[in-house]
Chains A and B, each alone.
Chain A
Amino acid sequence: MPRRVVITACSAITPIGYGKQAVVESLRQGRSGVRPLRDDGLLTGRIHSQVFGTVDYPIDFAFSRTHRKTMGPVAFYACQVASDVLTASGLAQDFITSGRLGVAFGSTHGSPTVQRDIYKTFFRDLDDKFSSIGAVDYLRSMVHTTAVNITRMFGITGRVIASSTACTTSSQAIGFGYEMIKYGMQDAMLCGGADEYDTTTVAVFDNLLACSVGYNATPERTPRPFDKRRDGLVVGEGGGAVLLEEYESARRRGAPILAEVIGFACNNNGGDLILPNLDGISATLRLALADAAIAPEAVEFVSAHATATKMGDIIESQAIAAVYGDRPHVSGLKSYTGHCMGACGVIELAMILWMMEEGFLAPTLNLDEVDPRCAMLRHTPGVIAAQTGIAAVQNFAFGGVNTCLLVKNGRGVV
């Protein structure tokens, strides 16, 4: 018998703030977290896009050296938000270490900052008598560094899922965590994703002509999902975590229920690794509805993947229109943060949870003139009061991976 799964804690470090209060304020004020690209002394001068969704405020990471030594910047984000949700959850220490709590957490490719340092060591003109690759460099840079630094820091002994599928990394983590609990493999899962400041990711998308280049002098005006003058995505950084728990045990221990995860789907386009695919995306949305056993009309808000690329937004608009029609409000929340890569799904989910709690919806930032090819949707018209019941989080990744999460407002969970 499948079990119900609820979200009982949430945290996010984003370009528009750390935690609920800061993020909600930025969403209400229409504040962008996109800033000029920093000079990294290597790639910045060669990249056309000179903007980045930046975490530019200090964070008081209070980790001991014992923990810090195996952490690159990406794991700092991951462990900080993991610490936040475990603290907020009030879960007993004996449960955390019981094996009944697992971790599903990922990043695009571990820590590129540490990887870059390793390559520098290899290629710079060093006296080769010494091996100056650090003993912990692999642990700090490896692709599952976020998940296992979390398990190490908190003594978590359950399952580990370290998804690494670029833009669907954290939505997969949440979805797979949901399935772990739903089908009885674990009783709780700490899920999320993180990615650190990284110019190589910008360079990759820049080279593919997918990055925004026309707003370098006015970073806050890009990205512009669904807008007629959009010109590409903006890479960003950050991290987010949610705690998923089996519904009955969460109720018994009196945990606050922020939302119920009622559906999840993940599929692949089965072909091209880059181009958006209407059939594949539409199928994902329908599979999620089927998993939740709800009709499309039940979905009131869609957090679109909406990276602001030329074709991606059009194909996603067509998929939303085909599956939902023009009923749900639609926003592209990357317009505030840029595209936080492996963290985007969980950050966008956090924004939804907090907007549900506060009773409002934020519109797509920089949507000054809707592209006629995206105009068939019900774009959120501004900051509006809304008691959203059910919302969808859509994410699509290079590699043809698509995900859709469906969540129900915690107020309606009985």
Chain B
Amino acid sequence: MSLVESDKATPAPGKLPASSLVSRLVVIGVIVFGVAFLFAYAGGWLTPRALTPTRIADRFEALNGVHPGFRRNHAKGVCVSGYFESNGKGAALCKSLIFQMGRVPVVGRFSLGGGLPYAADSAQNVRGLGILFQLPNGEEWRTAMIDLPVFPVKTPKAFYELLLASAPDPASGKPDPAKMKTFIENNPESAKAFPLIGGKQKSSGFANSSFNSINSFRFINVDGAVSAVRWSLAPLEAFEPIAAADVQSTNKNQLFDSLIARIHNHALAWRLIITLAQPGDTTDDATIPWPHERQQIEVGTLTIDRVESDDTSIARDINFDPLVLPSGIAASDDPLLSARSAVYSQSFTRREGEHKEASAISAAETGK
């Protein structure tokens, strides 16, 4: 048995007739170019209009300009460290070591949404907190949370469209209302999410902000039982609504400076709260909140006792990719999760290779 020419016993074949030569060359061409074509298709070269991580990162750069060494979103921030102390109550839901009773070190980064690293702090800005939990067995749990109650969009496509629709018009310097109107008509779930986001009173600073996982995840316990969950960090600091004095025009870094001063004064703490979905709750749409009566379990306390500048902290070079998860925590069917992972990776790769410019929140500022 042989792969070719199995009907011929003669080892040295004669000259190929011209027609046969052509057809054989065509076969070779079809195979080789076919593989190359499929490769090009898989790599997206044949579908240049498809939405990709590159295009989303490019969009941020088009909106904000390129600021070398900075994150393409949540560019302005300050790094922190501390520890998470688990009370053991999460262990029934999730087999991860993080929920065994005990303490693990964390590093994190507070940030303001947007791609401008030197912009003045503003009351309206989205506040972010990325946390890396370092588990005793070497595993990591990374989470990037924001202070919004829900996310403004359901899909990566809607996210991209919102970036386009909310971009300032070059003529007026303000977003074009017609574009926003079209966006809202095309994305009714966003139309429902906007009032929830706008209706939530912002707190006076980072220290008394809540931070939410936004996306749903799955917890898997030792018996293999799966629960759909979301989590949030609830501050121990008392809530105070933000006032004009909290964002002064004289100090561009007022929100960060106030956070730094508080951490120097005393360690800040947040309770980590797991919200359990009921059957029927939406896990693939981050614009929809779960009902208030859902069971909430306090699983431990996050303590932040050190603050450091982006310029000196290892957290600057950590990608708070929400899908770096320990065994026991898994992604849900929320389409934003994989997209976040992909775009964060794109942003990380770009900034890591660039010359790093000094952070607005310098080491001198965090040392004050």
Tell whether A pairs with B.
Answer: no
